[in-house]
Structure 1
Amino acid sequence: MAAPTTGSTIEHHPDLVEMRARYEKAGSTPTAQLVEGLTFLTGLYIAISPWVVGFNGSTTLTVSNLIVGLAFAVLALGFGSAYERTHLLGWTAPLLGVWVIISQWVINDAPSTAQIVVNNVIAGGVAALCGLAVMGLAAMGKRKS
């Protein structure tokens, strides 16, 4: 008889199938689908916002928004396609939203205009709220079964 492994990976969890089923159920509700869609659209907007708003002369902030927005959109696609496997990544979404908010002050390659500040604060706030909502879906999946 083989000795049980002492690793802390999820693959060895005795209730793995049950946990995945709960998270899949939580991720298939209309509320979850709305959150996933809004999260995806928020990521796309953050990615294109430098050209929508006009981040003139701020190439580093433009690249930052493009990369963070695409990462956010890809993360949202993961939530939408395989929530039961990607729910643990939910904690990264609020961090990306906070980065969008503070990046304009952290990255000092060009002066921030009022348009840039308002754009990044609103888009980052929506992104952070979407991330918190995704985390709430995971908590809801744990409680409801």
Structure 2
Amino acid sequence: MENWTNAKLCDVANLVLGAILVASPWLFGFAAGRVSENATISGLVIAILAIAALAAFAVWEEWLNLVVGLWTLVSPWVLGFQGTTAMTVHVLIGAAVALLAAIEIWMITQNPPRLTTGR
């Protein structure tokens, strides 16, 4: 049961990180365009996946969060906005989301949920 509590904490952290990423163009003054669109879309996907995981956990949500976290991490190089505040925000949040998703996936593989048999 402790792992489920830890998993929920990871999901809440991902929800907060997604919300920060969505708000980051306004918080940190990103220029409009691809940079702010990427932050908004990536942040919304992270937040929606976190809400879905909190509502009804499924391991595929964590795998998707890992992918979106990794995308957020590498997107400054792919989209060409290196050396900016936007890059720092994307790299830090992307690394945190990917790490939290990896931790949740690891927790699940170490202690898979057990179904009761009714005995």
Place the TM-score, normalised by the shorter chain, in its bin: 0.7 to 0.9
For residues 25-80 of structure 1, the C-alpha deviation after alignment (integer angstroms, 9 at most, x for no partner) is 577x32122111101111111111122112125x1121111111101111001111
For 1:39-118, list aligned pairs within 5 A. 39-57=14-32, 59-83=33-57, 86-108=58-80, 111-118=81-88
RMSD: 2.2
Kept in 2: contact 1:43–1:69 (CA 8 A) = yes
SS in 1 for 2:112: helix
Give the deviation of 1:135 after TM superposition.
1.2
Q: Which runs of 5+ in 2 are unaligned?
A: none
Kept in 1: contact 2:52–2:61 (CA 8 A) = no
Point out 4+ residue stretches in structure 1 off by more than 4 angstroms: none
- In our comparison, the structure showing a higher alpha carbon Rg is 1
| Percentage of pairs with the same residue | 22
Task: Quickly say closer, same or farther: Cα 1:90–1:134, change in 2 above 3 A.
Answer: same
- Distance, in Å, in 2 between the alignment partners of 1:68 and 1:133 is 20
Normalising by the residue count of structure 1, what TM-score does the alignment of the two structures yield?
0.69
